[in-house]
Amino acid sequence: MKSFLLSLFIIISGQLQAQYNTYCNPVNIDYGFTPIPHFSEAGRHRATADPVITLFKGNYYLFSTNQWGYWWSPDMSQWHFVPRKFLKPWHHVYDELCAPAVFVLGDTLLVIGSTYEKNFPIWMSTDPQQDNWKEAVDSFRAGAWDPAFFADDDKRLYLYHGSSNTYPIYGQEIDRHTLQPIGKRHDLIKLQDDKHGWERFGEYNDNNFMSPFMEGAWVNKHNGKYYLQYGAPGTEFSGYADGVYVSDKPLGPFTYQEHNPFSYKPGGFARGAGHGATYQDKYNNWWHVSTMVINVKNNFERRIGIWPAGFDKDDILYCNTAFGDYPHYLPKGPEDHLQSRFTGWMLLNYQQPVTVSSTYGGFHANYAVDENIKTYWCAGSGKSGEWIQTDLGAPSTVHAIQINYADQDADILGKPTDIYHQYKLWQSTDGKNWKILVDKSNNKTDVPHDYIELPSPVKTRFIKLENAHMANGKFAISGLRVFGKGKGKAPDQVEHFIVFRQESDKRNAWMKWEAPANAYAYNIYYGIAPDKLYSSIMVYDANEYYLKALDKNTTYYFAIEAINENGIGERTAVMKVQ
């Protein structure tokens, strides 16, 4: 009986909600499919972006673009979807709550989407766990795209907005009682890509064919200062990031923070950390939620990530994205987010051998283990019994698994609430004799980025994912990612790390290093002081990196560490680069 109960405990049922101590980006929510037909001509696909998370009455509420509803969670782990359409019949647009503004006034949560019209309502609810909303204002007369509201300590309310590669971010006071604009609209900030390399348009920050975009305003107040945040240079790119200006007044003037962008994740499996919102959890820890990039079937194919954030002793706003798509511990109380929340569970199956039940076209098996969310393996069908098997290369201790589904031959527009994934995960020490590890064959939820933290770690070598039911389309996986501890040695320290900063354009730098034989990836850290290396870039299978995201007139400090399935090598001494 004891053995049976233990087995029952280890097998995670799809009908139960696992109580995780950890999370892994992208956030595992039931992302809707783009509702816009001409955005899905290259294939129907899931898409959302521009997220806001707000703590309200002890729960977290997550709103994002075009989801026909929103989510709530008690713990930032298990999210519950509430279907809701906020637009009225005469709002003839596909963008149901595009880049929504969400804010709290007293005991009320309020929301409005982006619009240049002046006939969109602001909605309010005191019980948003249910679809229980009414109009606070029938027609909001500001006409704001990418809006954000900020309620100050003195009860005055402000609106910030803008999304353009021409116009600035605007700010304006809003009457708290009528919820209508008062006073004049202020021009607050504009991009200065001639000084700030990260603000340049393009995947390689080269302003290749278009001026960069500034969008996604957000404001927080800390120690009497106002932090005006914004996204740039374009949502399609790995370097999509959030910057910040600081002021003593809610409508400026604002000064560019020396550490910028403060939210930045250009490397790793899932990239991008722009157009988001900074919020506090139940323990007053700061977090930043933002947009992650896929950009395969459409420029606006995107996901959501959350990152530990905060303000350092010098009131510098930072965001910790190091190992940002690996498992991290959830908080159980106040935490110092300058200290890593990374579990130390390494990726065990990067570029390891893969076998599959079938392959559709050129969507090859090893795309499922190449640490690139843009590529994926696809089976010949979506039928039950299709499978993918990954070899960890050696017996290892497995703590968690992330299953990232891709969209192939999907036929959905919009947000259904009756689709779901079902599967089984098997493990084997020899690739011949298999034991069930996770059974979600009875699951009835949509889990496009399912993350499974095992109740107890398992020592094994092979992991097999067997399909039982696809939410839609063929059985396709962009990342079958196995996390834990290998039995070998952590990588050696990187040697001969050097940073060449371009003399004629200080926005650009070229980094090179001697790759240890036992490393498959690297974290490059840099920042504005030896103790402020707040920016990080994860690089796989390379010993060089071109960085074009520096600010022209800033002195930087750099260090690098090597990574493999067994651990993290010693970080190099900090290097000053002028």
| Domain ranges across the chain | 22-329, 346-485, 495-577
3-state secondary structure 281-313: CCCCCEEEEEEEECCCCCCCCEEEEEEEEEECC
Please tell me whether residue 142 adopts helix, strand or coil conformation.
Answer: coil
The mean pLDDT value for 161-173 works out to: 97
Residue range 346-485 forms a domain whose CATH class is mainly beta
The tokens 């490393």 sit on which residue? Answer: 519
Residue 343: closest CA among 361, 330, 359: 330
The mean pLDDT value for 98-105 works out to: 97
477-487 pLDDT, tens digit each: 999 999 999 99
Q: Is the CB of residue 528 less than 8 Å from the CB of residue 258?
A: yes
Predicted local distance difference test score (pLDDT) of residue 107: 97
Please tell me whether residue 6 adopts helix, strand or coil conformation.
Answer: helix
Name the band, by pLDDT with cuts 50, 70 and 90, for residue 522. Answer: very high
The mean pLDDT value for 316-343 works out to: 97
Name the band, by pLDDT with cuts 50, 70 and 90, for residue 91. Answer: confident
350-362 pLDDT, tens digit each: 999 999 999 999 9
**Would you say residue 15 has pLDDT above 50?**
no
360-379 pLDDT, tens digit each: 999 999 999 999 999 999 99
**Would you say residue 447 has pLDDT above 50?**
yes
The mean pLDDT value for 257-285 works out to: 98
**Would you say residue 527 has pLDDT above 90?**
yes
495-577 is classed in which CATH architecture? Sandwich (2.60)
The mean pLDDT value for 86-95 works out to: 84
Beta bridge partners of 80: 72
Residue range 22-329 in CATH 2.115.10.20: yes
**Would you say residue 314 has pLDDT above 90?**
yes
**Would you say residue 1 has pLDDT above 60?**
no
What is d(CA 294, CA 271) in angstroms, rounded to the nearest whole number?
Answer: 8
Name the band, by pLDDT with cuts 50, 70 and 90, for residue 170. Answer: very high
Predicted local distance difference test score (pLDDT) of residue 73: 98
Predicted local distance difference test score (pLDDT) of residue 20: 63
**Would you say residue 46 has pLDDT above 50?**
yes
pTM given for the model: 0.95
Name the band, by pLDDT with cuts 50, 70 and 90, for residue 92. Answer: confident
The tokens 């393996």 sit on which residue? Answer: 377
Q: Is the CB of residue 507 less than 8 Å from the CB of residue 541?
A: no
Predicted local distance difference test score (pLDDT) of residue 17: 38
**Would you say residue 178 has pLDDT above 90?**
yes
**Would you say residue 563 has pLDDT above 80?**
yes
**Mean pLDDT across the chain:** 95
| CA 245 to chain CA mean position, Å | 22
Q: Which residue has the higher pLDDT, 93 or 33?
A: 33
Output the CA–CA distances (angstroms, integers) from residue 409 to 85, 354, 358, 360, in the order listed: 27, 23, 16, 11
Name the band, by pLDDT with cuts 50, 70 and 90, for residue 89. Answer: confident
Q: Which residue has the higher pLDDT, 186 or 88?
A: 186
The yes-or-no answer to whether 22-329 and 346-485 have a common fold is no
* Tokens describing residue 350: 């990067």
The mean pLDDT value for 564-568 works out to: 98
Q: What is the DSSP letter of 574?
A: P
Cis, bond preceding 416 (omega within 30 deg of 0): no
451-497 pLDDT, tens digit each: 999 999 999 999 999 999 999 999 999 999 999 999 999 999 999 99
The mean pLDDT value for 539-545 works out to: 97
Name the band, by pLDDT with cuts 50, 70 and 90, for residue 282. Answer: very high
How many CB atoms neighbour CB 135 within 10 A?
A: 12
How many CB atoms neighbour CB 486 within 10 A?
A: 19
Q: Is the CB of residue 440 less than 8 Å from the CB of residue 75?
A: no
Predicted local distance difference test score (pLDDT) of residue 209: 84
Q: Is the CB of residue 365 less than 8 Å from the CB of residue 375?
A: no
Q: What is the DSSP letter of 3?
A: H
